[in-house]
Structure 1
Amino acid sequence: MKEHTYEATVIWTGNKGTGTSDYAAYGREFTLQIPNKPDLLCSADVPFRGDKTKHNPEDFFLASLSSCHMLWYFHLCADAGIRVVEYTDEPIGTMIQDPNGGRFTSVTLRPKVVITDPSKINLANSLHHEANKQCFIANSCNFRVTHEPTCTSNNA
């Protein structure tokens, strides 16, 4: 078994002078720092008093699922001799809030893939299932991540 460690620094930048003296008294802004990478200016999502112009944890979660799936999919396609030339995903996630907090209940990935060989479209679509099984982020979720892929060929 291999073990990998990841590190980040989260620095709250939303102190408006009185700290967390009141729920409305502080900003939800923070900076995400990851060694050797550009800083990201972040905030809570708008429903939680955040700044809509900044990335938020929910954005990161959805992007993590989508990008992890994509990278595993590329690996599997390369191994299967499928040449992917375009890939776009527009994932959608649903989160619920209740008195005890909140949680994501579903995420659907909707990758649009373009490959070079039209005879491999069915195989290319089927590899999304295997990519989901391999994805580290999807394997860390307590709900099922679903997929609605479409695949076309630029040589059809």
Structure 2
Amino acid sequence: MTVEHDYAVTLAWSDETGTDKFNGFTRDHEIRGEGKVAPLVASAPPWLRGDRTRYSAGDLFLAALASSHMMRFLEIASQVGLVVVAYDDEVHALAELGSRGDGHIAAVTLRPRITARPGVHANEAEVARLHERAQSMSILSSSVIVEVHVEPGRLTVLDDA
């Protein structure tokens, strides 16, 4: 049985000067979602004349992949009895650009670090296995062509105290 979920956002950009000059228009824009607390302010990456203080589409792409993986990992951990109390990830991508300005994301690497309570599943091998399962079940990773690598980082197991 297939279950469908609908995702929708709106994107808004405006600039009174218009796009008559490549260097002259703003790359800043807002992304909104119905029922979301605040708009997400975004821009192009700095190398495309964007505002480095705002998230770019590339940043959001990485965040989406990492968030999707994390949510699957936490779901699986809760099912097997691994009690995770903290999760952080360093996510990196390599973009390859052609001479015409075309390109693609060539590789994405997730480096999640887990803090868990003591238990039978609180070991490096089991955590690596759970990451593999989470990666195979991630809707976003399954939806992109780029290979997403997961390199589990340090596992911290809390003291029993």
- Relative to the length of structure 1, the TM-score reads 0.93
Match of 1:3 in 2: 4
Structure 1 residue corresponding to 2:150, chosen from 144, 147, 152: 147
Total equivalences in the alignment? 154
Match of 1:135 in 2: 138
How far apart are the structure 1 equivalents of 2:105 and 2:46? 17
1:80-117 residue CA offsets vs partner (Å, 9 max, x unmatched): 01000111101111111112612111111000001112
Match of 1:108 in 2: 109
Q: Does 1:85 align with 2:89?
A: no
How far apart are the structure 2 equivalents of 1:29 and 1:44? 7
Query: Is contact 1:31-1:42 (8 Å) kept?
Result: yes
How far apart are the structure 2 equivalents of 1:100 and 1:34? 30
TM-superposed CA distance for 1:119, in Å, is 3.8
One-letter code of the match for 2:31?
A: L
Q: Which runs of 5+ in 2 are unaligned?
A: none
Query: Is contact 1:84-1:115 (8 Å) kept?
Result: yes
- Relative to the length of structure 2, the TM-score reads 0.90
Identity score, percent: 29
Match of 2:28 in 1: 29
Q: Which runs of 5+ in 1 are unaligned?
A: none
